[in-house]
Amino acid sequence: MKKSLILFLSILFLIFNHTTMLTDLSSKINNEVKSIYNKNQNISNCIDKYAYDLNNNKYLIREFPNGYLIYSMNEKKILEYSDSTKSPYINYNINLIYQGVGNYFILEDNEITNLLTLKSFNLNYVKASPVYNDYVETTNISTTNSSTIIKHPEFFYDFCNDNCSGDPNRGICGYVGLALLLGYIDYYKSSDFMNDVYYAYDKGLFNNNVSFSLSYYLYCLDPKDGTTAIDIANVMKIYAEEQNLSYTDFCRLFLFFNDNTINEALENDIPVELFVNGFTYVDDKTGEIKTLGNHAVVAYSSQFIVDDLYGARNIYTVHLGWGGYGNVTIDQGLIGSIYYVNKK
């Protein structure tokens, strides 16, 4: 009887301790959302689920009625947040894989499938890039009034560009990003940068049909399954020569740019394409080692934040390149290259 009582009390203690930890975590996340993103989210009206990356690091996926956040349980910070974009994991609850911005997967029958592009990979051929730290603790987060935003962010809030899921065998996100950059120039600065046939509606929205989109047209100029900033700079050169455009652009690889580089472009009303790292895989048809996760997003706003662990840095509000994902804020130091373009 005594042993049973001790066992019962131990179980009660574990349940209480686990509940307290979850409450503390929710409080920490709420404070971070409020201090960094200047938002208040009702945690009583949310759904929590968990994902892992391919290195077995754990992430909390918290879904709000009109938004979501992804929180690293190892790094103890929010990696993605949106108060107006649905969760990429909506309607999925188990076997969730998260491998960085734009890389949202579900595991089924030893294959991982990207929930936005529908592209699948055999898990035996996938190797994760070591992009996340071991356990760390972030404290004393503070923000400043130092934020930078382009003149017309609404272009990206409401933007519905073509959806990459139209062809899961092509990695066209870099071309989608370039199309977004060209669309912004064409709509607000110089109307010769994009043919009007690519406008589907009256607010500068692209045609949703992939085969008739500017993104696909750019892809056909120099097709690649996955791109970096250098590749997109080459595509822009071909496109400009063909369309007889006068332009200036900027392309830099990792270590040759910093937050100030991106801020200066945003201050000059130039959105920036960021190429965010992910993982490598082996093509099961050719045996070639390829990279997935140089996922291109377009940044149109930045905010300066400081904390005790990670120091001073920018977080970026971006368009992920899919319709409905035009207002996501990311806090990840995984940018491999950047590209931007402007009229001359």
Q: Mean pLDDT per 10-residue run, the chain (344 residues)?
A: 51 46 64 64 78 88 90 86 90 91 88 84 66 39 67 79 44 86 93 83 54 83 87 96 96 88 95 80 58 77 75 83 82 82 96
In the chain, the number of structural domains is 2
- Tell me: do 246 and 336 sit in the same domain: yes
State the pLDDT at residue 57. 87
- Tell me: do 149 and 106 sit in the same domain: no
State the pLDDT at residue 161. 44
Where among 128, 158, 179 does a domain terminate? 128
State the pLDDT at residue 341. 98
Residue 179 maps to a domain: yes
State the pLDDT at residue 62. 92
State the pLDDT at residue 307. 66
CA distance linking residue 246 with residue 266, whole number of Å: 20
Strand order in the sheet with 279-282: 126-128, 279-282, 289-292
State the pLDDT at residue 51. 95
- Tell me: do 81 and 154 sit in the same domain: no
- Tell me: do 95 and 11 sit in the same domain: yes
State the pLDDT at residue 207. 61
State the pLDDT at residue 280. 56
The whole domain housing 245 covers 142-343
Nearest to 172 by CA among 132, 199, 206: 206
Residue 262 maps to a domain: yes
Residue 135 maps to a domain: no
- Tell me: do 93 and 123 sit in the same domain: yes
For residue 291, the SS3 value is: strand
User: Can you give the pTM of this predicted structure?
Assistant: 0.76
Nearest to 214 by CA among 179, 243, 239: 179
State the pLDDT at residue 60. 93
Looking up tokens 């370039």 gives 178
State the pLDDT at residue 165. 37
Where among 62, 93, 128 does a domain terminate? 128
Residue 133 maps to a domain: no
Give residue 89's region: left, alpha or beta (phi > 0; psi -120 to 50): alpha
Where among 80, 105, 128 does a domain terminate? 128
- Tell me: do 112 and 190 sit in the same domain: no
- Tell me: do 41 and 157 sit in the same domain: no
Alpha helices by DSSP H, the chain: 2-37, 154-157, 173-188, 214-221, 229-243, 259-267
Nearest to 306 by CA among 35, 8, 17, 11: 35
- Tell me: do 161 and 293 sit in the same domain: yes
- Tell me: do 119 and 176 sit in the same domain: no
Give the domain CATH number at 231.
3.90.70
Q: Which secondary-structure segment (H or E) carries 115?
A: none
